[in-house]
Structure 1
Amino acid sequence: MRRGAAAGRLVAGALLLAAVSMLPWLSGTDPALTVLRARSADQDPTPEQLDTVREQLGLDSGPFAHLLQWLAGLARGDAGTSWVSGEPVLPQVTSAFAVSLTLMSGALVVTLVVAALISARTVRLGSRRRLHHRGAGTAAAVLAALPKFLLASLLALVGGVWLGWFPSSGWQGPQSMVLPAFALGLPSGAMIGGLLDQALPAAFNEPWARTCHSLGLAPRLVARRAVRRTLPGVLPQLLPTVVALVGGAVAVEKIFNIPGLGRLSLDSALAQDLPPLQTATLFLVLLGVLAGLLLQALRYALIGPALRGGALPALPARPLPRRRSQYLLVAACAVALCVVVGAGLLRDPLQVDTAARLLPPSWAHPLGTDALGRDLLARLGHGALRTTGVAVVVAAVCAVTGLLIGMATRWSAGLTEVMSTLPAVVAGLLTTALTGPSVWGAALAVCLVGWTPYAAQSAALVEQERASGHLLASVSLGAGAPHRLRRHYLPAVLPAVVRNAVLRLPTTVLVLASLGFLGLGEQPPTAEWGRLLSEGQPYLELAPWTVLAPAGALILLSVLAMSGSTSAGRVTDRHGGVRRIRPGDVPVRAGAGTRETVPAAREEGALADRFGTAG
């Protein structure tokens, strides 16, 4: 497996660098023209000037000759010089990388703290055997649905301008890290915390937890072991999160004017400045590989002995009932969203009235108007189906792709680590070069990188399933690969992947919105929620209703997604076409054509010893 993962890293890294190196030639515009405009802003250069730039940069030799030349210089410690500024590339990339690492460390701390706070209720009640109802998940849904660029603008305005607590622009040291770290860490922590909160009840329902409670052991000991039992299934989700905090923080870095690696990659890609873009991509790949190896080592430190010994029981599914208030909350969100969409569909989303620019909410315009005087309710309603429809298709494609790649565990680890480092903006530039700016081009770009969380999750769950006792028993009874796939692997992986896909639906909307804001996705004047957020962001202080309306719609969608994730996973468990052995039972051969189980009670003492919780 290690050789397959290493081969996957090498192949994926080589393909990624080759694709990035071809960007200037795939863009459909003359690279010499783009570079010359970036140098001097000359809109009408002469043919002689273009020929001089081509000869100076050697553009006639093609992309692969440039890639080989860059690799040869890299072996000597020389990453080349910038095509635009003429300065050495390595110092500016290392400086930007150091800034991004500092920002990532702060955002990672915020992510972990938020995830711990969201799952604290489940940990406290579960360790005391008082977990009888599911949490509403409203806080996680609201935080996960907050657009990072909108949250960054709000924090810069309130914490930086109004209150003056922290710098609102520039990079002046660690104090400049606080506001961007919160903007990046709050949504990421809500996503990780939501996944952890949904997995914890199954750990508290295992035989060892019941044994510990019957023996009167301290709740903190049970809580610590339950978190340790659940973390290995959630840790793979940290890989795309960590890398996104470096390479995917483009919007936040631009709002706070931070000279990070994500912003450098975007500026280099837009200017077709190839040497900095190649070097930044290489740094991101190395970061992704290193983060993947560290997370894998941590995972093995948590459950390594059980994985190697084939003694890891499957987490039993424990669907907890909801309180009536939670049903009422979900119903209220659904009704509110339907009312807003239905009322908006009755209005014209394209009617421009310059005399009604940025009007506040009123009877004539219940949600106000935008900068062109268009009715926000109409644009919100007409953009609902298109926004959610494209997001659902993208999420489904990413989930299926990640599931297929993740189940091929021999080489998927290296491929996932490398591809998770590709920023969605760079992927958008690559797809736009082939398809042109369109909503489906942006969807293709998201699909290129959006499958990595599902692949990492699938690979981890398949590895844990292979170490379970019931699977080893099936193999010993002669079960073939198709039987194991249908009866064991898919039931263990599919419900968790479906829940993850539903939870990430609002995030998919926001990623598509960021590409549209950069001119790589949905083009105006089409009504789309992400574009509404992007168009209203400059007017956050002057006319906050321009962003509150689409942000509120996303929050309602996120609450429904949080509620639907559990229902989707439960339906997958129930109707997946499989029937699994009861959690905790150990299948044994009883005779010809028969099969019996050893009751779970006999295994409780051994499970308690395995997790270090006995007596």
Structure 2
Amino acid sequence: MKDFIQKNKLFSLYSALMLLIIFIAIFAPHLAPGDAFNSNMADALKAPSSEHWFGTDKLGRDVLSRIVYGTQLSLFMGFTIVITMVLIGTIIGAVAGYFGGFIEVVLMRITDIVLSFPGIILAIAIAGILGGSIANTILSLTIVGWAKYARIVRSLTLKVRQEEFVTASIMMGASTWTILRRHIIPNIMPLIVTTGALDLGVMMIEVAGLSFLGFGAQPPTPEWGLMLNEGRQYLQLAPWLMIFPGASILIVVSIFNLWSDALRDVVDPKNEG
């Protein structure tokens, strides 16, 4: 472990920062210094102070507490979206690449249709039709995102399927499920995992973007994009309502992007530099 840390110092540093963010998200109810939900109009729009480090919002709620709770929600939504679209894309891509023929044509044409639309525009359209909520945000971004993984997995499956060990397994009478589980999926997972890690930061930004536009989380949910939307009305009077949620998005997304980039270098050192 010590040798690994010495060899991959940046990855270790970013991993520690990422674990810190995950720790904050998990223990948000215990770490939040105040009440993130109940309003207190007597404390409305108070500037940052020793009592409220990040100030209060228009309803007197502690901004720092809402940002801490927002960490929990943003990470939950980001991880849920990435994991779901990776699973769906991997299954569809592996099936299309392995079986080929009519199955491949149908699945890849559906994939092409999804990929033909600008991602965020399609997500906004779906979220607008379904209505603004956390569940609909996850669903809309998953519908948009799985197609990229299906295309990647299909091409990797076609390549791995030509390997001699797969041919030997087929000749020995191994079932399709066994070949996919023991030979195809394990050989393509490193690239899929690193691609999914790179999408974590992207998904968090898109979640915040949908909430900012009113298609994501709804009040009184403490979500960073929603907090930015609520704070923009008070930009001149209470700029901290936008500064701190915006800084939170910037810091967390930057850490996850740097971590995923370092992970790619660890998994495949040939990409380094």
Q: State the TM-score, normalized to the length of structure 1.
A: 0.35
Q: Provide the residue aligned with 1:406 in structure 2.
A: 93
The answer as to 2:147 corresponding to 1:452 is yes
* Distance in 1, Cα, partners of 2:237 & 2:156: 48
Alignment counterpart, residue 221 of structure 2, candidates 513, 522, 526: 526
Greater RCO, CA 8 A, separation 6+: 2
Alignment counterpart, residue 322 of structure 1, candidates 2, 5, 8: 8
Cα deviation digits, residues 392-416 of structure 1 (max 9, x gap): 2222221111111112241332211
Question: In 2, are the aligned partners of 1:344 and 1:380 still within 8 Å (CA)?
Answer: no
Question: In 2, are the aligned partners of 1:394 and 1:447 still within 8 Å (CA)?
Answer: yes
Alignment counterpart, residue 392 of structure 1, candidates 79, 82, 92: 79
Cα deviation digits, residues 256-288 of structure 1 (max 9, x gap): xxxxxxxxxxxxxxxxxxxxxxxxxxxxxxxxx
| AA of the residue aligned to 1:460 | S
Shift of 1:375: 2.0
Question: In 1, are the aligned partners of 2:14 and 2:258 still within 8 Å (CA)?
Answer: no
Which consecutive unaligned segments of at least 5 residues does structure 1 have?
1-132, 135-319, 572-615
The answer as to 2:138 corresponding to 1:443 is yes
The answer as to 2:53 corresponding to 1:366 is yes
The answer as to 2:203 corresponding to 1:508 is yes
* Distance in 1, Cα, partners of 2:142 & 2:176: 29
Shift of 1:509: 2.6
* Distance in 2, Cα, partners of 1:322 & 1:544: 39
Q: Provide the residue aligned with 1:331 in structure 2.
A: 16
| AA of the residue aligned to 1:426 | A
Cα deviation digits, residues 159-187 of structure 1 (max 9, x gap): xxxxxxxxxxxxxxxxxxxxxxxxxxxxx
Alignment counterpart, residue 563 of structure 1, candidates 233, 245, 259: 259
Shift of 1:357: 1.9
Alignment counterpart, residue 357 of structure 1, candidates 38, 45, 56: 45
Please provide the CA RMSD for this pair: 3.7
Shift of 1:485: 1.0
Shift of 1:455: 1.4
* Distance in 2, Cα, partners of 1:333 & 1:378: 19
Q: Provide the residue aligned with 1:425 in structure 2.
A: 124
Question: In 2, are the aligned partners of 1:344 and 1:379 still within 8 Å (CA)?
Answer: no
Question: In 1, are the aligned partners of 2:200 and 2:256 still within 8 Å (CA)?
Answer: no
Shift of 1:369: 3.2
* Distance in 2, Cα, partners of 1:460 & 1:511: 27
Alignment counterpart, residue 176 of structure 2, candidates 481, 486, 491: 481
Of all paired residues, the percent bearing the same amino acid is 29
Task: Name the SS for the 2:56 alignment partner.
Answer: coil
Shift of 1:377: 0.4
Q: State the TM-score, normalized to the length of structure 2.
A: 0.72
| AA of the residue aligned to 1:331 | A
Q: Provide the residue aligned with 1:202 in structure 2.
A: none
* Distance in 1, Cα, partners of 2:252 & 2:214: 27
Question: In 1, are the aligned partners of 2:228 and 2:241 still within 8 Å (CA)?
Answer: yes
Shift of 1:379: 0.6
Q: Provide the residue aligned with 2:100 in structure 1.
A: none
In structure 2, relative to structure 1, the CA distance for the partners of 1:556 and 1:439 (3 Å cut) is: closer
Q: Provide the residue aligned with 2:270 in structure 1.
A: none
Task: Name the SS for the 2:192 alignment partner.
Answer: helix
Task: Name the SS for the 2:217 alignment partner.
Answer: coil
Shift of 1:352: 4.0
| AA of the residue aligned to 1:406 | G
* Distance in 2, Cα, partners of 1:460 & 1:543: 51
Shift of 1:489: 1.1
* Distance in 1, Cα, partners of 2:215 & 2:17: 35
| Structure with greater helix percent | 2
In structure 2, relative to structure 1, the CA distance for the partners of 1:541 and 1:414 (3 Å cut) is: farther
The answer as to 2:163 corresponding to 1:464 is no
Cα deviation digits, residues 84-142 of structure 1 (max 9, x gap): xxxxxxxxxxxxxxxxxxxxxxxxxxxxxxxxxxxxxxxxxxxxxxxxx99xxxxxxxx
Question: In 2, are the aligned partners of 1:495 and 1:569 still within 8 Å (CA)?
Answer: no
Give matches, 1:292-331, under 5 Å.
321-323=7-9, 326-331=11-16
Q: Provide the residue aligned with 1:381 in structure 2.
A: 68
Give matches, 1:127-166, under 5 Å.
none
Cα deviation digits, residues 303-333 of structure 1 (max 9, x gap): xxxxxxxxxxxxxxxxx9412x652454245
* Distance in 2, Cα, partners of 1:343 & 1:541: 32
* Distance in 2, Cα, partners of 1:477 & 1:527: 56
Question: In 1, are the aligned partners of 2:41 and 2:59 still within 8 Å (CA)?
Answer: yes
In structure 2, relative to structure 1, the CA distance for the partners of 1:534 and 1:500 (3 Å cut) is: farther
* Distance in 2, Cα, partners of 1:502 & 1:385: 18
| AA of the residue aligned to 1:556 | V
Shift of 1:538: 5.6
Cα deviation digits, residues 518-572 of structure 1 (max 9, x gap): 333321111112212333356667755433433443333552465368769999x
Question: In 2, are the aligned partners of 1:465 and 1:489 still within 8 Å (CA)?
Answer: yes
Determine which structure has more spread, i.e. the larger CA radius of gyration.
Answer: 1
| AA of the residue aligned to 2:81 | V
* Aligned residues between the structures: 249
Which consecutive unaligned segments of at least 5 residues does structure 2 have?
98-103, 268-273
In structure 2, relative to structure 1, the CA distance for the partners of 1:445 and 1:485 (3 Å cut) is: same
* Distance in 1, Cα, partners of 2:72 & 2:13: 24
Q: Provide the residue aligned with 1:495 in structure 2.
A: 190
Question: In 2, are the aligned partners of 1:367 and 1:376 still within 8 Å (CA)?
Answer: yes
